[in-house]
Amino acid sequence: MAKDLARRIGYIYVDTGAMYRAVTLFAMREGLIHKDGTVDEKTLKNRLPEVSIHFEQNAETGKPFTFLNGQCVEKEIRGMEVSAHVSTIAAIPFVREKLVAEQQAMGKAKGLVMDGRDIGTAVFPDAEMKVFVTASAEIRAQRRYDELTAKGEKVDYNEILQNVQHRDYQDTHREVQPLRQAPDAHLLDNSHMTIEEQNQWLLTLYHKIAEE
């Protein structure tokens, strides 16, 4: 829905979750995530300057694809293995510091729709429009399941549900910039809304705020 809003109003879209996923993929590829799920934080901190993330518009789909050190990693970062570790990586203070700084730099020119779990509280606490989107864990897991199976991947719904619930717990209980609704954010529970209904809700809110 954030992508669609950006397209409709001519703004740039940034998926901050993809940035954390890209760092997670880098750590996995470099053997910095151990079998027990712990992270070699010292080595990751030393090698973090090697990580370069940018987005490019896909000519066929019109959607932004994520690039890690010049390589398109859009498919890899959406897989279950990255999903299983991304909350751990995202909770590391020096990782958040680096990516939040990059996100804030992107937003200096405005005209931006940014999507992520701490945008309205940590990245842009003074944003002109904040929306806190939620839905039940079961519905989000089903959407993820449908998305992955549509891509031809074999996945288990219960595993996805457990991952969603685990990530929610980690993100709401981490010490640094936990997931929470900003006091001035507009709440949208889209559990039982169609895509068009939620898109229209967002567009209506945008026009209202823009006129004010």
Q: Which two tokens stand for residue 4?
A: 């669609």
- Specify the pLDDT at position 114: 93
- Specify the pLDDT at position 157: 96
Please give the C-alpha separations between residue 47 and each of 38, 44, 71, 88, 92, in angstroms, as whole numbers.
17, 5, 18, 17, 14
User: Residues 94-132: pLDDT tens digits?
Assistant: 999 999 999 999 888 888 999 988 899 989 999 999 999
Q: Which two tokens stand for residue 159?
A: 């595993």
Helix, strand, or coil (residue 2): helix
Given a cut of 50, the residues of the chain with pLDDT beneath it are none
Tell me how many degrees the CA angle 11-136-90 measures, rounded to the nearest 5.
60
Q: Which helix (H) or strand (E) holds 113?
A: strand 112-115
- Specify the pLDDT at position 58: 76
Contact 155, 145 (CB under 8 A): yes
Q: Which helix (H) or strand (E) holds 132?
A: strand 131-134
Q: What is the pTM of this model?
A: 0.76
Tokens 């027990």 locate to 36
Q: Which residues contact 91 (CB under 8 A, 6 or more apart)?
A: 170, 171, 174, 175, 176
- Specify the pLDDT at position 100: 93
- Alpha-carbon distance of 173 to 169, in angstroms, equals 6
User: Residues 33-49: pLDDT tens digits?
Assistant: 999 999 999 999 999 99
